[in-house]
Chains A and B, each alone.
Chain A
Amino acid sequence: MTGLPILDISGLSKSYGAVRAVDGINLHVDRGEICGLIGPNGSGKSTFFDCVTGLAKPNAGAVKLDGQDITGWSLSDIAREGRMLRSFQKTVVFSALDVEENLVIAGQMFTFPGILSTFGVGSAARNRVAALRERARELIKIVGLWDVRSQAAGKLSGGQQKLIQFASMLMPEPKLILLDEPMAGINPKLIERVVESIRLANMSFGVSFLIIEHNIDVVTSLCTRVVVLDQGRKLAEGTPDDIVQNQAVREAYLGG
């Protein structure tokens, strides 16, 4: 099993009207790998994520997670398994709730065996939530949000909200996390912290990553392999060095 990629996608396509947003993409993420996904604006990166995670239904192609075919599953069905989670390009948090509650929610569906049990008011439910809270606090410390943990998430800065999003995804101990531009709009010092958090999650918790990112320095320092999309198609694939040298990629995306 260990030789099998954690995520294996073949022939994935998605059209919006006449726009072929994603056009027959094959892509895999190996276990323990941090893989980069780059490309110009509108090249279909976010749409690719949407199709993989069940937010959008692909027109064609297959998605295999951990060897299991999950094509056509809904976003919440995939997420509820807790194996693969995603972030959104536009940062979203549960604004009215504090940071800790945001994380507790993110872990809840993996702790309770069914919907009805979540109405449980007995000590079993309380213990489960207490355990979630414990884990939430640990993760809050890791991403450095301890001082603002009881503030409403909506009141925090965009960068801090990104950190909430990131920490939330670690709550259910997933095997794979898809990040959509985790560094966009984050100041350099905070970028370091996010990069470190990703490394830590990768090394200590064994989480694999697929990361969409326009910050090429971050991509080259974090990723062992990079896939380049252009107009919905795969333009190139290789080590960060290969990609930076690649003539086609320089013309389509990197410039120079």
Chain B
Amino acid sequence: MTPAELSIPATGRDLRLPFGVALAALACAAPLFLGNYPLHAIIIALIFLLPAHGLNLLLGYTGLLSLAQAAFFGIGAYTSALLAVHFGTPFYVNFLAAGVVAGAIALPLGIPALRLRATSFVMCTLGFVIIGQAIAKNWISLTRGDMGLAGIPKPYFALGPVSFTVSGTVGFYYLVLVIAAIATLAAYLIVRSPAGRNMIAIRENETLAESVGIPTWNYKLLVFMISAAFAGLGGSVYAHYLTVVSPLTFQMYYSTTMLIIVLGGGAGTISGVIFGSLLFVGLTEALRVAPELRMIAYGFCLLGLVFWFPSGFAPIIGRFWSFLERRK
């Protein structure tokens, strides 16, 4: 469907299934041969994969550049934190609530923002992050301001008589792995559905899309909400992993990171985003690169991308892929 996926030739053996199985097995076995710190890096990468999937639906498939992902990430984190701290609700309730709240808040924000033209829309979404941070800082009775909310419990499940808490890096790793897998499947199903095709149509040419009856505005709003929900879910997991949230959860830096994941991995491809989050978040986290240094590294990555790989790594993976398949 996307250019990168189209470039995979139909001839030769389809390696996608065996490769997917191998990757899944590797992911499941990772705790056996990886220490806690690399696992932590992968956990962070998989958490950021959620908002990145959301941004990919918006930017990669629908063609809308948004910097608001960090705002919805923060909204999700705070939603989960407040529920967990004040009501002691189980993890899955906080998690789903974070997605629903972020998606719902995207509705009143999206309605005016999507009326704007491309560049103004980007500026507007940037504003959402700043406003989000300001609210987290100043609505002290709710958010405790700069002190943030601490003591968010580790993910706690209560299903009838059984209840358990996911603690420890390995436990959390498997939880995040399952969540990331489900999110990836969800993104894949959206992209493969007729709606996904309509989204691509909007990205390719909005007026033409309208002329074949696609209600472009409604789709853009819907995808904006879906992408916000993805970000909210990611924020929830983040809050439960770090056990603290603060106004710093609303950071432009996070929006930039998500943007780098999508653009660097390959906008408009699911596999590219997975690759991007492992490379740009997992690797920098694993190498313990300081945030300031990371910003600089991202800057260079962006420059490199713009000049040498304008469509991200996905086409390169695609070419490598077809090379493998032809060899068989």
B198 in complex: contacting residue of A79, A98, A108, CB < 8 Å: A108
Q: Which residues of chain B (108-142) have a CB below 8 Å from chain A?
A: none
Checking B3, B192, B216 against A152 with a beta-carbon cut-off of 8 angstroms, the contacting residue is: B3
What class of interface size applies to chain B in its complex with A?
20 to 34
Identify the closest chain B residue to A168 (Cβ). Answer: B212
B161 to chain A, nearest CB (A): 34
Given the known interface contacts A120-B194, A121-B193, the answer about A97 and B213 at a Cβ–Cβ threshold of 8 Å is: no
Cβ-defined contact, B197 with A108, below 8 A: yes
A-contacting 9-mer, from B199-207, B234-242, B253-261, B287-295: B199-207
Contact present for B211 and A115 (CB under 8 Å): no
- Name the residue of chain B whose CB is nearest to the CB of A103: B212
**Interchain CB contact under 8 A, B194 and A94:** no
A-B contact count (CB 8 A): 105
Chain B residues with CB under 8 Å of A16's CB are none
How far does the alpha carbon of A75 sit from the alpha carbon of B195 in the complex, in Å?
Answer: 19
Contact call B208/A93, Cβ cutoff below 8 A: yes
Q: Is the CB of A115 within 8 A of B213?
A: no
Query: B192 contacts which chain A residues (CB < 8 A)?
Result: 121
Q: Is the CB of A118 within 8 A of B195?
A: yes
CB–CB A121/B189 < 8 A: yes
Asked if B2 lies at the interface with its beta carbon under 8 angstroms from chain A, I say yes
| Chain B binding surface, main DSSP class | helix
Given that A76-B214, A86-B211 are known contacts, is A118 also in contact with B198, CB under 8 Å in the complex? yes
Q: Which of B260-316 contact A (CB under 8 A)?
A: none
A168–B2 CA distance with the chains assembled, in angstroms? 20
| The 7 nearest A-B residue pairs measured at CB | A80-B213, A109-B213, A79-B213, A76-B210, A118-B195, A94-B204, A118-B194
Can you list 13 A-B contacts (CB < 8 A)?
A76-B213, A79-B212, A80-B214, A96-B3, A96-B6, A104-B197, A105-B198, A105-B212, A109-B212, A115-B195, A115-B215, A119-B195, A168-B212
Which B residues lie at the A interface, using CB under 8 A?
1-3, 6, 189-190, 192-195, 197-198, 200-201, 204-205, 207-216, 218-219, 222
